[in-house]
A = this chain, B = another copy of it.
Amino acid sequence: MASQVAGVKNTNEDENAHKDLGFCGRVKNKVVEFPMKLKKLGRDDPRRIVHSLKVGLAVLLVSLLYYFDPLYDGLGATAMWAVLTVVVVFEFSVGATLGRGLNRILATFLAGSLGFGVHHLANLSGEKGHPILIGLFVFILAASVTFFRFFPRIKARYDYGLLIFILTFCMISVSGYRDEEILEMAHKRASTILIGAFTAVSVCVFICPVWAGDDLHNSVATNIEKLGSFLEGFGSECFKISCKGGESNKALLKGYCSVLNSKQSEESQVNFARWEPRHGRFRFRHPWKHYLKIGSLTRQCAYRIDTLNGYINSEIQTPLNIHSTKVQELCMKISSESSKALKELALAMKTMTRPTTATAHITKSRIAANSLKSFLKSPGLGGDIHLLDIIPAVTVASLLTDVVAYAEQIEKSIQELASLSHVQFKSAEPKTEQEQTRLHKHGIVHPCAATDGPHHVITIVQPSLKEIENKG
């Protein structure tokens, strides 16, 4: 805990240091830092640069409407709606862009028809009744649709559509009072929005597409891997066993922090992914919602790990050199075995292969946890050591047991995902020795040195593996 509080303090100190510089100094600092930050932003995820160029291209393409006379003559000044649509609809991932595009098109069509109907109805009520009726409709519709936007489920998928619905309805029904050519306006608006949305979606899908589904799949797997990395370093760090790269080890131990607050980004990615068509390893109705379950279990496990992390730097930690090295040994065993299990699960998920030895690792850590229990039960132990000395170790052991239970749950839910997504998850173990040799020759299977026992991991995408299997 001390270290986490220190983190907050550091931020405050940084801010105070900035304040000491005075206004000019701060501005100068920011100007100097800006290009560095830009560079880092691009290096962290080069897809950001590609996305920016794609947006530029899409806007350029759609602005050609203004330059080609045949197109401009048909659409006139409403061509700007196409530019507007591209800018507003184009998002980072294909799913988000498709979702916004479809929302915009559907909402425009529905609201346009409704607005047209209301306009006709109002026309029947005479010149005096017209504005009153229109005003009433606009008020009721805007208020009720705004209220619907509070529904969590509707908000998640159709929020933008509802906004556009209010917008278009008001524009069509209200402007109808003045504009006699309401049908033509509606027609032009619809066609420019179609052109804009089509341009945005095409550029987004056909030039280096970023699939929200891929991102979700990878981020859920990476989160599991981060927990594994923490547990890998935890044993030696907790029991102060010297190991190489002390500082980098600490950085590894901090990796899990981003898992704690991953809920909202996962939820939005699931919503985006559900808009996406079949792509790469994922079919159209891939069980995206199941990732929320895996993500939730991963976070629950991360909360335990955050508690464990408190014991590495806390004051209580000093007397962890308990007289018996047996407890220490068993804790390290639990930690390293569950680390291996989680890391293999993450890898299996990333490569979409069935985890082969994860169950074995989990069983081993379960056995270690049971031996720890029976060791603490042994009648000779009570008299030997002070209870106080052993408290932190007991707490750590107890938390590690929790972590093992979560690792088991995560394994189960990944297997559920594999069975829900039918064909995608393949066995990682080739059946015969002959096949193994062939896979080695193709450079596809690399023996995994970091884990115990003979097992192999396949690191290629599905189709190629399928081909090889078919040929065999």
Selected from B48, B147, B391, the residue in CB contact (under 8 A) with A376 is B391
Main secondary structure of the interface of A (DSSP, over half): helix
Complex CA gap A35/B460 in Å reads 50
Given the known interface contacts A67-B177, A144-B52, A147-B48, the answer about A88 and B385 at a Cβ–Cβ threshold of 8 Å is no
Complex CA gap A399/B405 in Å reads 19
Q: Chain B: which residue is nearest A377 at the CB level?
A: B388
Residues of chain B within 8 A (CB-CB) of A381 are 387
Identify which of residues 125-144 in chain A touch chain B, using a CB-to-CB cut-off of 8 Å: 131, 134-135, 138-144
Given the known interface contacts A382-B383, A383-B383, A387-B390, the answer about A303 and B260 at a Cβ–Cβ threshold of 8 Å is yes
User: CB-CB contacts of A365-404 with B at 8 A, as 1s and 0s?
Assistant: 0000000010011010111111110111011011101100
Q: Chain B: which residue is nearest A175 at the CB level?
A: B80
User: CB-CB contacts of A217-241 with B at 8 A, as 1s and 0s?
Assistant: 0000000000000000000000000
A interface residues, how many (CB within 8 angstroms): 94
A264 CB, min distance to chain B CBs, angstroms: 5
Are A48 and B150 within 8 A (Cβ)?
Answer: yes
A318 CB, min distance to chain B CBs, angstroms: 14
Complex CA gap A175/B78 in Å reads 10
- Among the listed stretches A16-24, A54-62, A432-440, which one makes contact with chain B, having 4 or more residues with CB under 8 Å of it? A54-62
Q: Chain B: which residue is nearest A8 at the CB level?
A: B293
New contact pairs (19) apart from A42-B147, A383-B383, CB-CB < 8 Å: A5-B409, A8-B293, A53-B143, A55-B143, A56-B138, A60-B139, A63-B174, A77-B179, A79-B175, A88-B167, A264-B264, A310-B402, A377-B387, A377-B388, A379-B386, A382-B385, A387-B387, A387-B394, A391-B397
Query: Nearest 10 pairs between A and B by C-beta?
Result: A56-B143, A52-B147, A395-B398, A56-B139, A303-B303, A52-B146, A55-B146, A56-B142, A59-B142, A377-B388
